[in-house]
Structure 1
Amino acid sequence: MDTRNQSSIVNLPPQQLSKIYKFLVETNDKLSLAQTHPVLREAFKIDAGNHYELLDLESLPFTDWKFIFSACGSTILGVMSYKVKNSMAGVILAAKYCPNLQELFIAIRDEYWNQVKPYLKRLKKVEDLRLTNNYSPIDLMNTLLELPKLKTLKLVRFNRKDIMQIKHLQQLQNLFIRSDHTVNMYELCSSMSQLESLEMEFASIDIPLGKWEPLWPKLKLLSIGIEDFRTEMPYLPSLETLHVTFSPDMELSELFGRSISDYAKSLQVLRLNSDEITPVHADNAKTIGQLKSLKSLICSDMNNTYLQFIKLDQLQMVILQSSNNVTNSGILRMLRGCKNLRSLDVSGCRRVNKNVVAPLLKILKQHDVQPDDPLVLTVRFMSFGDAVQTTATDPNNNLLLIQKSNNIICERPYTAYDASLDIEYLSDDSF
């Protein structure tokens, strides 16, 4: 192309020139062309649109970073990197070229923190900040206080001392803590009245007498691994979803305490994780049975005895994980007491097999389930075989849809006896 023709091309409006990039498949070709002239650079920005809205630094060659930041900086809303040195470079470039940055997901270390924090403070529009550390000591507070719009904070592998600094961030709406250190939930979050979601991997519950109300009036989701609790959990009026990981000897009734009657009217989703079955599980199952507003239940290590306590009219979804002691009869007992159940995952129950289908269909008919709103049963292929393909239903009354589970991770090795055919599965008076 001679100079005269090139001059005539760049005199075209950038909007029109941006169409050239539609014919270039390789990103390198687009970047090479864009760097030949300011007008072609502007055309590249138009063509890119929101393609670089969330910039994953590891997915791009280092040599292209500066140009992409400088050309598309105003449209970049998020930057992420899992490598420390890349993160440092990303923050510096974002501070220079990205006035509208809202999300920043980076890895940090104490030896680089003093270099990063002056640039991080300049990102005044950041709302979502996620920091990954290796437990190195980092003084976060002075820097985070410079981010007035910060609403979501995720801290991974920070030590307890540095985590506790953030208790002054009263504007936070979403807080996620993943650390090997146990953190007192009240001490960290008592002043965060705007919290809508809180996730802590290892938490302790110890709320001083007289400090129960008002605590976290807007909290909708709470996910905690409870290491110890010295007091019961206060009633959280907006709480809809509760995920709890607990020790085998923990009792739900003690956790809910005097608030169980209030949670019975408001809690909609409950997920429970425990390491092993203990006698306490029976009491926990009875407590679950009191939560009359519950719509979704995810739990592990259940057995037939525990399932009989779960009779909830509002319950729509149940996932049973690693529950090798649950048999067909246990599933049928639970289904009898949950007439609105429409999604049931028994892929973690190795003793539940295709012989459950016929009596299950009978219960669905008794509950007046309609073909346009069937029960979806998720199963292990090895236990159900051809029933997965045929759904084993009456073609004139399709009340049951059987599907194969894609998740095999949650199933622990099977150790219980698995009878080829259990008479109790087929007997109407056995459940």
Structure 2
Amino acid sequence: MGDEKLHLGLAPLRSVFRCSTNILDLNHDTMLRVYDYLTDMTDKVRLASTAPKFREAFKIWACKQRHKLALEDLETMKLPEMINFFTLAGPYIKVLQVDCAWHEKESLLMEFLAEYCKNLEEIYYSNVTDDFHYRTIMSRMKHLKRITIDCVDAEDVLSFDLQSNRGLEYFELINGCYTGKHLCGFPKLHTLILRDCLLWNSGEFGIPLRSLRILNLDDCCFEVMNESLYHKIADCCVHLEELHFSGCDSHFEVIAQLPKLKRCTLKTWVTSNELNIGFLNTLAEQRGNKLTHLHLSGQFEITIEHARALGLLHSLQELRWSNNDILEDDHFKFFNDLGLLDTYGMSFCGRVTDIGLMRLLRKCAQLRLIELKECDQITNEFVLNAIGCLAKPSPGRHLVINVLGTKIKESLLTSIEYLAPLNNVKLNFVCE
């Protein structure tokens, strides 16, 4: 470790034992505590290899922990030490981190992982290319529940096999190319995240079984957009509770028919695109009593009809707007039925002023948190008006305002109004 790391790891115990105490005379509980003082799994295994008594203590200790291994930690190991490491620690490793840019001892490591780490439940891949040598680990496991693959280039079409892992619950692909072929038929898959991905053949897009609860298609690029994708989501993902999607396509309103949808993020970067009014009306008419979280992002047009439809989402607890210079104070006039709204967030919305936010605050009696980022029309006046509004008899109502990049000044924190005993507003200046 050699001896130096063992020496440092045991240093906190010196105050407990006399110098004459032999390390092998430590009682069982103290031996277990020794492993808590060592941070690296490799050092724990080296300690376990020093004596049978420490080996047995390691096995007992390891059974009660959830162990993580980064393959780069093994790069300096020679073969005999690597064999010893996997023999002792392999059965207890549940989480694996793989930097695919590191090719040292690649074939050897994959064999050791397949032979000794049969209880792996999570793998996190980074720097993945279509070469993807470490993909064979997945096909040789049977208990994987969570997979994250972070790619170097979205053009890379990956090939992998997960079919032996019938308990797969979570799959995430970042900056890759997804063809829809690999993730159908997993009965326990509840989360599918495709972030910044290129989606090929969306008309044949494979939707997993009805167990899916979360679907994230955030910032994805569709090579060929097809309305059948929306219908597949609506028809197949009947238990979907959370959906993140980029686009305001005219067919998107079928998504609003999902019977259990609670959280929705809709994003578009097309300035001429209009937010699908059919989508909002369907939410308001059919699912307004279930949707609790809604995030709208992008430069889409917002009409009075849109505002009225949003105002009818009476179960909404959180509403967020991002990157929209069309949202105006007048839109807040129609938010009359948002009685459960607890959190309101707004970022890069340059037309909304203090007047709009005060309308929201007066209409939404349950509002407890407002988060503002880069909204340059919001000033000290809003905070002062909020203090005055909440100082009136309204039992137990407090408001937190988190701000970044507005015209609200930090000097407000020392003002007479802010320091007054009846002030129920807390103002936080947030750093990036």
Equivalent AA in structure 2 for residue 264 of structure 1: G
What is the match of residue 362 of structure 1? 388
8 Å CA contact 1:316–1:342 kept in 2: the answer is: yes
What is the match of residue 350 of structure 1? 376
What is the match of residue 311 of structure 2? 289
8 Å CA contact 1:173–1:196 kept in 2: the answer is: yes
What is the match of residue 339 of structure 1? 365
| Aligned mate of 1:194, from 211, 235, 251 | 211
What is the match of residue 138 of structure 1? 158
Q: What is the DSSP-based 3-state SS (H/G/I as helix, E as strand, rest coil) of the residue aligned with 2:384? A: helix
The alpha carbon displacement at 1:285 in A equals 3.2
Equivalent AA in structure 2 for residue 216 of structure 1: C
The alpha carbon displacement at 1:27 in A equals 7.6
2:120 and 2:265 map into 1 onto residues whose CA distance is 31
Q: What is the DSSP-based 3-state SS (H/G/I as helix, E as strand, rest coil) of the residue aligned with 1:334? A: helix
Q: 1:397 aligned to 2:422?
A: yes
Stretches of structure 2 lacking an aligned partner (at least 5 in a row): 4-21
1:324 and 1:214 map into 2 onto residues whose CA distance is 38
What is the match of residue 5 of structure 1? none
- Closer, same or farther in 2 for the Cα pair 1:91/1:187, shift >3 Å? same
Q: For residues 200-219 of structure 1, what are the structure 2 equivalents within 5 Å?
A: 200-201=217-218, 202=220, 204=225, 206-207=227-228, 214-219=235-240
What is the match of residue 220 of structure 1? 241
| Aligned mate of 2:253, from 232, 236, 259 | 232
8 Å CA contact 1:388–1:403 kept in 2: the answer is: no
| Superposed CA offset, 1:286-319 (max 9, x none) | 3322211111011122332333333311111001
The alpha carbon displacement at 1:245 in A equals 0.9
8 Å CA contact 2:230–2:251 kept in 1: the answer is: no
- Closer, same or farther in 2 for the Cα pair 1:103/1:326, shift >3 Å? same
- Closer, same or farther in 2 for the Cα pair 1:60/1:356, shift >3 Å? farther
1:209 and 1:175 map into 2 onto residues whose CA distance is 15
The alpha carbon displacement at 1:269 in A equals 0.2
What is the match of residue 416 of structure 1? none
What is the match of residue 193 of structure 2? 176
What is the match of residue 263 of structure 2? 241
Q: Which segment is superposed worse, 103-112 or 14-23?
A: 14-23
What is the match of residue 262 of structure 1? 286
Equivalent AA in structure 1 for residue 292 of structure 2: Q
Q: Which segment is superposed worse, 194-203 or 10-19?
A: 10-19
Q: Which segment is superposed worse, 59-68 or 312-321?
A: 59-68
1:382 and 1:37 map into 2 onto residues whose CA distance is 66
Q: Which segment is superposed worse, 40-49 or 242-251?
A: 40-49
| Aligned mate of 2:334, from 303, 309, 323 | 309
Q: Percent identity?
A: 20
| Superposed CA offset, 1:213-257 (max 9, x none) | 754221111111127453522311111110111233132313345
| Superposed CA offset, 1:90-114 (max 9, x none) | 654432222322111124444344x
| Superposed CA offset, 1:246-280 (max 9, x none) | 23313231334545311211100001111x3x543
- Closer, same or farther in 2 for the Cα pair 1:242/1:19, shift >3 Å? closer
What is the match of residue 250 of structure 1? 274
Q: What is the DSSP-based 3-state SS (H/G/I as helix, E as strand, rest coil) of the residue aligned with 2:205? A: helix
| Aligned mate of 1:129, from 147, 157, 162 | 147
The alpha carbon displacement at 1:354 in A equals 1.6
Stretches of structure 1 lacking an aligned partner (at least 5 in a row): 2-7, 408-431
1:400 and 1:183 map into 2 onto residues whose CA distance is 49
The TM-score with structure 1 as length reference comes to 0.77
What is the match of residue 72 of structure 1? 89
Q: What is the DSSP-based 3-state SS (H/G/I as helix, E as strand, rest coil) of the residue aligned with 1:388? A: helix
The alpha carbon displacement at 1:200 in A equals 0.9
The TM-score with structure 2 as length reference comes to 0.77
Q: What is the DSSP-based 3-state SS (H/G/I as helix, E as strand, rest coil) of the residue aligned with 1:267? A: coil
| Superposed CA offset, 1:137-178 (max 9, x none) | 3333xx2112111121112233243x3443444542110112
What is the match of residue 401 of structure 2? 377
What is the match of residue 116 of structure 2? 97
Equivalent AA in structure 2 for residue 176 of structure 1: I
Equivalent AA in structure 1 for residue 205 of structure 2: L
8 Å CA contact 2:390–2:423 kept in 1: the answer is: no
Equivalent AA in structure 2 for residue 123 of structure 1: M
- Closer, same or farther in 2 for the Cα pair 1:293/1:65, shift >3 Å? farther
1:212 and 1:61 map into 2 onto residues whose CA distance is 44
